[in-house]
Chain A
């Protein structure tokens, strides 16, 4: 009887350790996907619809958002865009190219301790304003910057 009890305890302990390891290695990344992909926003073809999907239809323009982008991009397939938000409590940064077939390019949730800065390279079909929409403390702020495109990058 005693021996069975030993084996049982060993097994149970092993399972416990496995569950703990799984808890850090497997469950955490699953939780990280909690924010569902904004299908409506990414599939809207009109700039205003994309803004609405973010809940940012009435965003106020802010000077505390800096967009770093070239004035003229020769190749629309690779347009480097960097956004820095100095607004306290920045939770989310979205990048939109107003005249792209699907304006919303990317949304970044930075609430977990990242600084309000992201840089990314996007495609642009034609010369257009690039908007950065920042959500801070539940309010929306926006800034824009025109980027001229020599050769479009959507085809």
Chain B
């Protein structure tokens, strides 16, 4: 099972600034390990972010995204207590979903 994501959503007016940190090796299929063998291609292909169940971002990635990917986005019309859910799927079919609620503006 994949490691949990770190998600943070802060309100700036009615826009939620969402920052997501995923834990994933994102292997390019070009790197060689200590034995000189190519490390298999292993990367997140698809990321979907929903706001109260409605898809606001549907991303397709290649192996060019860095290891332990960071993703930042802004969601319009958000308010405190809204649910933000993030799901990723990698090229081996492994997936992970995490959900948070938007923190009230401080």
Contact = CB atoms under 8 A, between A and B. Distances in A.
B77 A113 contact: yes
B64 A97 contact: yes
Interface in B50-75: 50-51, 53-67, 69-75
A35 B45 CA distance: 12
Interface stretch (A5-13, A114-122, A141-149): A114-122
- Range of interface residues on A (Cβ < 8 Å): 35 or more
Given A32-B50, A35-B58, A114-B56, A155 B74 contact: no
Nearest to B59: A108
Given A120-B69, A120-B72, A121-B69, A114 B62 contact: no
Interface secondary structure of B, over-half rule? strand
Which secondary structure dominates chain A's binding surface? mixed
Contacts of A42: 60, 62
Contacts of B58: 32, 35, 108-109, 112
A113 B72 contact: no
Nearest to A42: B62
Interface in A77-104: 77-80, 82, 97, 100-102, 104
Contacts of B89: 33
Contacts of B61: 105-107
A37 interface: yes
Interface string B22-51: 000000101100000000000001101111
Interface of B: 15, 28, 30-31, 45-46, 48-51, 53-67, 69-77, 87, 89, 97
